[in-house]
Each structure stands twice: as structure tokens, then as C-alpha cells.
Structure 1
Amino acid sequence: MSKIIALYNNKGGVSKTTTNFNLGAYLSSIGKKVLIVDCDPQCNITELFFASRDDLDDPEASLPGTSIYEALLPRFKGQQGAIDQNTIELTEHNVYPSMYLFRGDLEFSRAETYLGTAWNQAVTENIHEKNTYIVLNNLLRSLMIEREFDYILCDVGPSTGAITKSVIVCCDEIVIPLVPDRFCYQAVRLLGNVISEWIDRHQIISQSLEPYGIEPFPGQPKLAGTILQNFKVHAGAKAKASYIKWQDKISEEIESSLCKDGKFSAKEGFDLKKPYVASIKDVAVLAPVAQLFGRAIFDIEQEHTKEASSNGQMYYGSVWQPWKDRMEEYKAEIQKIAEAFE
């Protein structure tokens, strides 16, 4: 079954973009057709996607493919009632076949106004705002069906603004990346209520669409799991005590707060008492090296270690082996995230 998925947390710095890219690369490596949609006006996943291409090193070079803002602008301007997926040009990754990008756009920040107005006025008799409200969902669904994607992975920023909530209500499932610290603990306490409010508002808007012959969409994403990210360990591979403390407190909060009102609920089979579908240790220098070459962290090649070496030489033997071990460990955790969607 094809799915639209987002990794989301209203707190920044939890490795959403890095994990999204690596998840897409892993899924493509096991034969899945994946579309990454850059819904964050910062465009970080777009930069990461194209980092492996030498022909785009020039900052003045035009990026290939249709941007999400270019695609949606005719609807925002009222020039089209809907967006035809046939007009969208997607770009295939040059290292990971079957992984495609619907690229980001710095100007997509302007969509905050268009989508914000739609969220506020779609309940009125304004047909323009009703059509704007459903446009993102309808476009993503048509791309998924017509181009036979197994997964659409949406990269979103940490905001709670109109762009983010428009993406989240389009999703079938959400995974929440978490860092074991005070701020993620506070975020989890709020996140269930925030998403439930979006779902509740969506249901109200949906009821206003049907009398005008506009088909609503479900707008009820399910929690597929949480990811423990970026925790640091001692030399003996044991997590530091401070991280364990916050991990335990966050686990309690996930069980008691995240899905408490029933509007935002966990998918069937997911146990809130065992919330972490994956635990990803701090990968240190592996992440920036992988990003330099636009590759997954588990696909760093030995020659790439020159970038981490103080003398510009490749790592060998006992220095290279720990890299290989951490890459395999990371890949195993990404696999667990992928399995959470099955």
C-alpha cells in the first residue's frame, strides 16, 4: 500500500532532514519507488539531494525539475482550479535510482500566507479558498497514484504554521524524531494537542466542502512511531546517564500525552509503551562527510574519508573499520524505521 509520510517535530535540530534523506535512499535500495517532497522553505533536503552532482556546483546553476512553489502558484493565484500532475517534472537521484525529488523553493515561504488564508476561510462560501485548501493533498495523491510511488516522504520545517499543518493532514503516517533532552520533552507534551487541533479543524473544513461538490480527504494521520536521535554514548557503548534520564521522561510523556484525546492516534499494532522504533546514536563526522557527497550515511566510501582526515589521506585498517561498523549500525536503524511503515 502506497503511503504519504512525514518525519515531524515542532522542535528543530532533531535530524529530520538527514533521516528523511537516508530513509529515502534505503527504501530505494530495496526496490521501492520513493518521492521526496521538500516542503521546507529552507530547502535543506533539496541541497542534500543534489550534492552528488558536480554540474550543480555553480550557485547560479538552475536546479532541474519543478519546484513545489512553481507547481502550486497557479492555484494560489486562482488561475487553475487544480494542478495537473502531468505538468510536474521530478528529478531522479544520480546515485539512488528510483528515488525522486519534488524540489524545494526559497519562495515557498510565501505559501504560508496563501495556505493560512485557506485554513481560515475554507469554511466560508469562498470556492477559491476551498480549492486552495485541498490542492496539496490532491497533487501528492495524484503523483503517488499516476507515477506509482510506493512512498512519498515529506520534509517539513519545525514550525506549526500553515505549510506544516497542510502537509501533516495530507499524511497517512507520521514518525516523530526526538533528541533526549528537556526541549524535546516539552515538545512532546504539546505535540499531540497541536496535531489533534489540526485534525479537528480539518474535519470542520471537510464538512463545508461537500455541499459545494468538493471531495474532502481523510486528514487523519496516524503515529507510526518515534525515533530516538543523536544521543551520545560512553566508550563502552552505553548511553550517558543524562540521556537515559530524558529518554525515560519522554517515554512516559509519549504514553500519557501524545495520543490521549483519540483524534491523533497511533496506527494499529504500534505500542505506545514501546515508542521508539529506532535508536540512532550520534554519528559524529559521518553525517557531514555523507552530505558533502550527497550520499546516505551508510553508503560512505573509503575514499570519502579524505575529507575527514587532517592530512588528506584515506583511512585504512583499524581507523576505517570503526566507520564501517557505525555505517552498518546506522543502516540497521534506518531499516527499522522503514519496517514501521509496513
Structure 2
Amino acid sequence: MPTNQTKVISIFNNKGGVGKTTITWNLGDALARRGKKVLLIDFDAQSNLSIAVLGERFHNILPSENIPYGTTIRAYLQRFLQNEGQLQFFKHKGTYTHDKVDLIASDAWLNVYSESLSVGADLLTGNGIEKYSIISRLIQEANSQGYQYDYALIDLPPSFNNLVRTALYSSDYFIVPCTSDIFCSYCVGLIGETLPRFLKEWQLGCQQYSTNNPHNQRYINLGKPVFAGWIFNGYDTRKPKNEINKKIIAADYVMGTKIAKSVKELVEKLQNQIKEQPSILQNPSNKSFYLGGIEDMNTLIQNSMWLNCPIAQLDRREPVRNLQDRGQWSPEQLDQIKRLTEAFVDIADRVIKYCT
């Protein structure tokens, strides 16, 4: 069940607070600024990405008396589980997010979908393997309706639950955001231990499915996510005396070095344990797998979320007065907005270059 030309990328770390939602949103917006058609998929029951993009409009798309399934991802998944007629795909646009970006909104009902998935009964037997590949089917149906997305970015919960499995099985690549946090370094290592097991269980399920359906090859291209790199998010910078440009502070530099070491160990684990298929990007020009850095946004991130406006458009809106005393951006904030916008575009350029 290939996703046509769409490159599917999961933004994933099993640790919370690393900026998955912010990066998914702003990277999608930056890819659109490079002329790419982007689909954002909020696959986290907390719906943070959906609320960030849509704001108050999010409440209008939830299930109601007139729209029992709503116009979130639930409208697709619940009909699929209950085998109720034609599956419905709904996309939404953010008021200030780039027009080339569409969103499939989340719903707390995703918890129900996660609970419906059984590794033993559905995956390993091959009998319910379609449940674990539903995102690929959704993207394929979206493309069949003429949208033809270049990239689909999936925002995921901070865990190794079945929603994460489902997304990774349909992904071509995954990107790991990290923050200056000692626990982040540890969690990167956990990915190297857990992902190979996920992929082996997918292979076992596919083998069983193929045994029962020898002429059906619909899942042959799935379950092969490739590690595309990591993003260092939320570090602090300072301008040294008598210097023009800001530099990362020493403590965050040290922590970034530790994370880079953990990423190197992650790569080694993936290479050693996943032999049947490529597990990392073979890119001699980027042996560190570093896709870029996003400095601490401070109050800009709260303004961005409250205004439902990605960083690149933030200077065109007035700041939220509850978040700062003044009614306009300071010169330092305008400079930071510019730097952050350029940083996301730089990462988007690397994604376009490497994830092909």
C-alpha cells in the first residue's frame, strides 16, 4: 500500500516536552514556503497540534449531534473500525499557517483506536495488520482525491504506544527532536532498543499475512522507517562581549554533545539490529545526523500558540498583551523571529535534500 510520491515523516521522541508539536507545525510551514504541499497529521489524543493550528475553531470540528463523527481523524478511523460505509477524509487549514499546508485534526477518541489495537491478535497473526497501516491508507486516499502531498508530517505522543507503532509503520522517515535535558539523552537510547523490536514484529505479521494471502503484496513497502536525523530544540544563546553573533551557552553545548553521542549509539544499534532493510540515511555529508537547531523561543512560543500563528508569520501580528507589557514586538524579539524562521527553513531544506 504505497503512499505514492508522498514522503511520510514521523516527528518522534518517547520523551515529552521536546517540542514535537512546535517542530511539526513550523517545519510543515517552512516546507510549504519552499513550494511543497504538506499534510500535517495530529496523531496525539491531546490534540495540541490541532489546537495550535486551528485555535477556537478546533471545538467546532469535534463530534456533535449534527455531525456524529466530527470532522477530525475520528471520522475516518471510527468508520474503518466499525466498517460503516465510505471512509471520510477531512482536512483543515490554519488561518495563519501557509496555504499549502493541510491538517488532519486529532480527537481524544484516538485513545479508543489505540486500545483497539492488539499486537498479539492483530499484528503477529496478520489478521488485523491493516489497523496498523491505516495512516498509509489515509494518505493514499487523500492523494487519490487529487491533493498529491509532497510530505506528510505526523505529530506523535511521547511514548511507545500503539499509536506510535502505527505511525512508524507507515513512515518513510522519522526525526527525533531533543532538548538540553539529561533525560533526553537516555530516551534517545531507548529508541535504539525499542524500534528494532517494533519492526521485527511488523515483519512477522507481514509474513503471516503473506502466508494467508500469497497473492496480496499490499504491505510490502511498509514498516521501513529510516532515521533521518535529530533536531536540537530549545537551547539558550548569549552574545559574548565584543562579538557580533550569539553563541550557544556552555551548559547547553555540553548537553548537545552528550545527545550527539547518544544519537551515534542509536545509529549503531539500528545498523546492528536491523539487517533486512536500510534503517538510517546513508549520507556521507551528514554523519552526525544533525538536521539543525532551534534556540529557546521564550515568550514567542506562547504567543505563537495563543495566536495560532507559526513563527514565520508572528511579526505580522501584535503580541498577546497578557504575555508581555508592551503592545508591540521589541527589536530583540523581531530579530529572534527572523532567526527562528531561517532556522526552520534551513531544516526544511535539509529534509528536502535528504528525505527523497
Structure 2 length as normaliser, TM-score?
0.83
Contact 1:92 1:100 in 2 (8 A): yes
Equivalent residue of 2:233, what SS?
Answer: strand
- Mean CA deviation greater in 37-46 or 68-77: 68-77
Cα deviation, 1:232-267, whole Å, max 9, x if unaligned, reads 123433323222222112212211233424227211
Structure 1 stretches of at least 4 aligned residues deviating more than 6 Å after TM superposition? none
> Is 2:68 the counterpart of 1:66?
no
| Structure 1 residues 60-209: aligned runs within 5 Å | 61-63=60-62, 66-79=71-84, 84=87, 87-95=88-96, 96-115=98-117, 117=118, 120-124=121-125, 126=127, 129-144=128-143, 146=145, 147-209=147-209
More divergent stretch after superposition (276-285 vs 132-141): 132-141
- Find the partner of 1:268 among 268, 282, 294: 282
CA distance in structure 1 between the partners assigned to 2:281 and 2:113 by the alignment: 30
The residue number in structure 1 matching 2:234 is 230
RMSD over aligned Cα atoms: 2.4
Question: Aligned pair in 2 of structure 1 residues 223, 276: CA closer, same or farther (>3 Å)?
Answer: same
Q: How far apart are 1:172 and its partner, in Å? A: 0.6
Identify the residue that residue 327 of structure 1 maps to in structure 2.
337
Structure 1: state its 5+ residue gaps: none
Aligned residue number for residue 47 of structure 1: 51
Instruction: Tell me, in whole angstroms, the C-alpha distance in 2 between the residues paired with 1:119 and 1:93.
Output: 39
List runs of 5+ in structure 2 lacking aligned partners: 64-69, 241-245
Distance of 2:291 and 2:126 partners within structure 1: 44
Alpha-carbon distance in 2 for matches of 1:125, 1:285? 48
Query: Matched residue pairs, number?
Result: 326
Q: Give the whole-Å Cα distance in 2 for the aligned partners of 1:280 and 1:138.
A: 33
Change (3 A) 1:309 1:74: closer
Normalised to the residue count of structure 1, the TM-score between the two structures is 0.87
1:248 to 257, 268, 274: 257
Q: Name the CA distance, whole Å, in 2 between partners of 1:224 and 1:100.
A: 23
Equivalents in 2 of 1:257, 1:22: separation in Å? 26
Task: Name the residue aligned to 2:346.
Answer: 336
Identity over aligned residues, as a percent? 22
Q: What are the superposed Cα offsets for residues 162-185 of structure 1, whole Å, 9 maximum, x if unpaired? A: 011111121111111011221011
Secondary structure of the 2:280 match is coil
Contact 1:189 1:258 in 2 (8 A): no
Assess, with a 3 A threshold, how the Cα gap between structure 1 residues 104 and 45 changes in structure 2: closer, same or farther: same
- Residue 278 of structure 1: SS of its match in structure 2? strand
